[in-house]
Copies of this chain bind each other. A is one copy, B any other.
Amino acid sequence: MNNRLRSVVIGFFALTLVLLVTVSAAAPLPSWRDGPAKQSVIRFVDRISNAGSPAYVPEPERIAVFDNDGTLWSEKPLYFQFIYALDEVRRMAPQHPEWQHEAPFASILKGQAVAALAADPKALLEVVAATHAGMTTDAFNASVQRWLAQARHPRTKRAYTGMVYQPMLELLGYLRDNGFKTFIVSGGGIDFLRAFSWKSYGIPPEQVVGSSLKEKYAHRDGRPVLIKLPELNFIDDGPGKPVGIHQYIGRRPIFAAGNSDGDLQMLEWTTAGAGPRLGLIVHHTDAQREWAYDRHSKIGHLDKALNQAKSQGWTVVDMEKDWTVIYPPAKH
């Protein structure tokens, strides 16, 4: 009995030791090459986690915000939500014979989406209204889920949710492991994002900030529903991002990641706060494995924010050099 007890206790300690060693041996951010970007992230997290240091940040204040398009997943040849809207126009066309003759729908149905939307600034809103409004929030969510399950990207042939960035998934997890609450702060539609944010990023719906339409409370067949209206509520882009952060989160983040000038004010607002802050820009430099673009691209336009990165001390991630992989392993 005594010997058995001793074995149990010794076995228990040995197991604990093995577990401790395993955990500390799992180095963070495995898809990030050792270099200045990875080092600045790890140094920042170490600094704000060190309870003895004046740079220490208590857990509830560890708020990290991430842009989505071009920061957490790809955005070429068009924002994926926009591809969804065009697919929806095609799917809904049989119920809308008038679209064959009406701008911008007629051009979209002829395969001239970009021309149709460039011709008229109101065209995009019309497409959004036709495909994102006039239905319940539940119906919209189901529609996005259905599309995400079936649609494939024209170049990679992957599901769109298969085009999230593996290194950014690791970054989200690393921050959460260190007591951060992670949020999406995107120019994309809040309800579109919520259809996959939990499954793809581990970010729950209540931690998603995005652009939105107005909504109305109503009853249908005696049951309460929320109807999405064809009227803009909020544009969460550019100077709208700090506003969205304040309205939805109510405190200033200490970490922000973006990839375009639409993230400039979010990076500014985050890093202008007192104490240690990290601003991070994902720079699309990898024409081989993803896309390479910045100052001359309409989608993901990165110019002013890249200029400011140096003076502001923001970390610029060079996708080609800093990341060993882009996407998670493909599912078979």
Contacts and interface: CB of A to CB of B under 8 A. Distances in A.
Interface of A: 2-3, 5-6, 8-9, 60, 63, 137, 181, 183, 190-191, 194, 198, 204-208, 212, 215-217, 223-224, 226, 233, 239-240, 242-243, 246-251, 265, 268-269, 272
A102 to B, nearest CB: 31
B224 A242 contact: yes
Nearest to A191: B250
* Secondary structure type dominating chain A contacts: helix
B269 A217 contact: yes
Given A2-B5, A206-B248, A268 B224 contact: yes
A215 B250 contact: no
A217 B190 contact: no
The 4 A-B residue pairs with the shortest CB-CB distance in the complex, in nearest-first order: A205-B250, A2-B2, A217-B239, A206-B249
A133 to B, nearest CB: 14
B272 A243 contact: no
A63 B242 CA distance: 26
Contacts of A239: 216-217
A5 B250 CA distance: 52
B204 A217 contact: no
A250 B2 contact: no
A137 B191 CA distance: 27
Given A9-B9, A205-B249, 10 more contacts: A137-B246, A194-B250, A206-B206, A215-B243, A215-B246, A216-B239, A217-B240, A224-B268, A226-B269, A233-B247
B269 A243 contact: no
A327 B216 CA distance: 37
16 contacts: A2-B3, A8-B9, A60-B198, A137-B246, A183-B206, A204-B250, A206-B207, A206-B249, A216-B239, A217-B240, A224-B265, A224-B269, A224-B272, A226-B242, A226-B246, A226-B269
A165 to B, nearest CB: 23
Nearest to A239: B217
Contacts of A217: 239-240, 242-243, 265, 269
Contacts of A205: 249-251
Nearest to A193: B250
A79 B161 CA distance: 47
Nearest to A2: B2
Contact of A250 (B206, B242, B268, B269): B206
Q: Which of A191, A247, A272 has the most CB of B within 10 A?
A: A247
Nearest to A138: B252
Contacts of A226: 242-243, 246, 269
